[in-house]
Structure 1
Amino acid sequence: MAVSKSLGDAFETHALDYLQRHRMTLVARNVRCRGGEIDLVMRDERGALVFVEVRARKSRRFADAASSIGVTKRARLIRAAQHYLLTWRGAIPPCRFDVIAFDAGKISWLPDAFRADET
Structure 2
Amino acid sequence: MDRAETGRRGEQAAARYYLDRGYTLKTHNYHTRLGELDLVLLSPEGELILCEVKTRSAGALARPAAAVSPAKQARLIRAAQQYLQETGQSDMPVRFDVAEVIPLDTGRWMVHIIKGAFTCD
Unaligned runs of 5+ in 2: 105-109
Question: 2:91 maps to which residue?
Answer: 92
> CA shift at 1:107, angstroms?
1.7
Alignment pair present for 1:113 and 2:112 = no
Q: Report how far residue 112 of structure 1 moved.
A: 0.7
Residues 1:19 and 2:18 are matched in the alignment:
yes
Distance across 2 between alignment mates of 1:35 and 1:90: 18
* Conservation of the 8 A alpha-carbon contact between 2:13 and 2:101: no
Letter in structure 2 aligned against 1:92: D
User: Which structure 1 segments of 5+ residues have no match?
Assistant: none
Equivalent position amino acid for 2:114 in 1: L
What is the TM-score of this pair, normalised by structure 2? 0.87
CA RMSD of aligned residues (A): 1.6
**8 Å contact kept, 1:44–1:50:** yes
Q: TM-score, normalised by structure 1?
A: 0.88
C-alpha separation between the residues in 2 aligned to 1:99 and 1:109? Answer: 6
Q: Percent identity?
A: 34
**What secondary structure, in the 3-state scheme, does the structure 1 residue paired with 2:31 have?**
strand
* Cα offset, 1:104, TM superposition: 5.3
| Per-residue deviation, 1:103 | 3.6
Moved over 3 A (4+): none
C-alpha spacing 1:26/1:104, structure 2 compared with 1 (3 Å): closer
Map Cα deviations across residues 56-115 of structure 1 (whole Å, 9 max, x no partner): 111354310012110111111101100101112366210010111024543201111110
Residue type of the partner of 2:118? F
